[in-house]
Amino acid sequence: MSNTKPIQDNNGMRLDKWLWAARFYKTRSIAAEAIHKGHVSVNTTTAKPAREVRVGDTIALRQGHVQKTVQVLALSAVRGPAPVAQLLYAETAESIAQRQQQQEQRRLAPEPAAAITQQRQGRPTKRQRRALDQVRQPWGERWSSSLADY
């Protein structure tokens, strides 16, 4: 079990490896991809996957629609169980409040599919489909307007 304990030292470690060890991303390559896309910043500056992360750094990251800001508390070279990974960081109070506010807004937002179902009630019937075909093809089977058709 000694490998899963966080290491307290002043030496830095790679950002992508820390994000992986802290269980923000499932693999290091996914963490590196998120960093390249600009979803992760360290101390309010854009970062690269090989950037050194040190204890006390502030990391802002986005996972899907969720924005998080965390403070680095410890470094770990290995990916351990979730309870150990949670010891590596502390989410800021502002981040928690903002995340809960966004969650509440998404909960209260109207369902997008409800607007579609109010306009149309499912698939058209056979009669409605034939009416649509007549509107789309006013000239029947005649598609060209060459003189040979006259």
User: Strand (E) positions, 47-128?
Assistant: 52-53, 58-63, 66-72, 89-91
Confidence check: pLDDT of 98 > 70: yes
Which pLDDT value is given to residue 2?
46
Pairing mode of beta strands 58-63, 66-72 = antiparallel
Q: Produce one character per residue of 80-119: b if its CB has 16 or more CB atoms within 10 Å, e if not.
A: beeebbeebbeeeeebeeebeeeeeeeeeeeeeeeeeeee
Q: Which residues contact 89 (CB under 8 A, 6 or more apart)?
A: 22, 59, 70, 71, 72, 73
The domains of the chain are located at 2-108
Percent of the chain with pLDDT over 70: 78
Is residue 89 within 8 A of residue 15, CB to CB? The reply is: no
CB atoms within 10 A of CB 49: 18
Q: What's the order of all strands across the beta sheet hosting 40-42?
A: 45-46, 40-42, 58-63, 66-72, 89-91
pLDDT tens digits, one per residue of 12-22: 889 999 999 99
**The whole model's pTM is what?**
0.66
Q: Given pLDDT bands bounded at 50, 70 and 90, which one contains residue 42?
A: very high
Q: d(Cα 75, Cα 85) in Å, to the nearest integer?
A: 10
Confidence check: pLDDT of 113 > 70: no
Two structure tokens written together for 110? 């109207």
Confidence check: pLDDT of 1 > 50: no
Q: Given pLDDT bands bounded at 50, 70 and 90, which one contains residue 149?
A: low
Which pLDDT value is given to residue 60?
93
CB atoms within 10 A of CB 71: 14
Q: d(Cα 19, Cα 13) in Å, to the nearest integer?
A: 10
pLDDT tens digits, one per residue of 128-144: 888 888 877 766 555 55
Q: What CATH number does domain 2-108 carry, 3.40.50.970, 3.10.20.600, 3.10.290.10, 3.40.50.2300?
A: 3.10.290.10
pLDDT tens digits, one per residue of 48-75: 888 889 999 999 999 888 889 999 999 9
**Phi and psi of 9, rounded to 5°?**
-150, 165
